[in-house]
Amino acid sequence: MKKVAFIGLGVMGYPMAGHLLTAGYQVCVYNRSTEKAQKWQQEFGGDMALTPALAAKDCDIVFCCVGNDDDVRDVVYGDNGILAGLSEGGILVDHSTASAELARELAQAAKAQGKHFLDAPVSGGQAGAENGVLTIMLGGEQAIYDQIKPVIAAYAQFSQLMGEVGSGQLAKMVNQICIAGLVQGLSEGIAFAEKAGLDGNKLIETIAKGAAGSWQMENRSKTMFAGEYDFGFAVDWMRKDLGIAFAEADKNGANLPVTKIVDGYYQQVQENGGNRWDTSSLISLLKK
């Protein structure tokens, strides 16, 4: 039986680590705040460690799902970091949404020690993590992906190796760029419908299957009409992800004019106290 570690028990990592245990793996967790790790252990019954290095000890695979680039570096490097504990031949899988540059840096650091790295950001949100139906986009070597694919199936409905290391992060950036413009268009459409006095249910039933249709329209329009923004991926996290995309675009020359405008709207939502509202809260700026 494979021994694995999971570093970072946030809204995503907590249920993901649980799914690994349920799937029959031996799981040791680490979380910066020990209380969360203890709570996890009480709920699922796995092991916990007081440092990432201790959690990674004797593991075949170490998963990590934390915040930004620096948060990842904090748990990977140093005497207490994952790489210090992971054995030669071990695999580090980073589920954090971070820069492609960090992925390349970590892959190099791992390789220098005879270890392996895959960047593996996820989509599907908190509900996807809890229900074990995430989509995972990975970057790295095929042979390494083949080894971890059956393991991440514990919480992934679909996973795909996008290409070389960093490609998983680049695919996630595309995902977030597409969402930004899409949700703004949907917000303007719904706000217009409200001003026009249209029946929201009839409207969405009519247009959702056609050329204006989207996952966001199917899953968020009802709550957008209602002005409820408590359904998942938070504005703070979206702005972090868009910031990563903008930094990459500065390097690859991609032009993101509307995505940048929408990021500015998200900043306004934050200024209005909506840091933890979900991404559909763009419509709050149009409801006045």
Please identify which of the residues 2, 36, 172, 222 carries the catalytic annotation.
Answer: 172
Task: Work out how close the CB of 178 gets to a second copy at its nearest, in angstroms, rounded to a whole number.
Answer: 4
Q: Residue for token digits 């809260």? A: 281
Task: Work out how close the CB of 156 gets to a second copy at its nearest, in angstroms, rounded to a whole number.
Answer: 11
Task: Work out how close the CB of 60 gets to a second copy at its nearest, in angstroms, rounded to a whole number.
Answer: 25
Q: Which is nearer to a second copy, 42 or 252 (CB)?
A: 252
Q: Residue for token digits 């270890």? A: 115
Task: Work out how close the CB of 282 gets to a second copy at its nearest, in angstroms, rounded to a whole number.
Answer: 10
Q: Is 28 helix (H, G, I), strand (E, B) or coil?
A: strand
User: What does the block give as tokens for 60?
Assistant: 């075949």
Q: Which is nearer to a second copy, 45 or 158 (CB)?
A: 158
Distance CA 190, CA 101 (A): 38
| Backbone φ, ψ for residue 68 (5° rounding) | -95, -175
Query: What does DSSP say about strands 3-7 and 61-64: parallel, antiparallel, or unpaired?
Result: parallel
> Which residue type is seen at 268?
Q
Q: Which is nearer to a second copy, 31 or 259 (CB)?
A: 259
Q: Which has the closest alpha carbon to 125: 92, 167, 97?
A: 97
Query: What does DSSP say about strands 134-139 and 122-123: parallel, antiparallel, or unpaired?
Result: antiparallel
Instruction: Count Cα neighbours of 100 within 13 Å in the Cβ-side half-sphere.
Output: 25
Q: Which is nearer to a second copy, 1 or 143 (CB)?
A: 143
Q: Which is nearer to a second copy, 53 or 256 (CB)?
A: 256
* Contacts with a second copy, residue ranges (CB under 8 A): 100, 123-125, 135, 137, 158, 160, 162-163, 167, 170-171, 173-182, 184-193, 195-199, 202-203, 205-207, 209-217, 219, 233, 245, 248-249, 252-259, 261-262, 286
Is 172 among the residues known to form the active site? yes
Distance CA 195, CA 217 (A): 18
Please list the active-site residues: 172
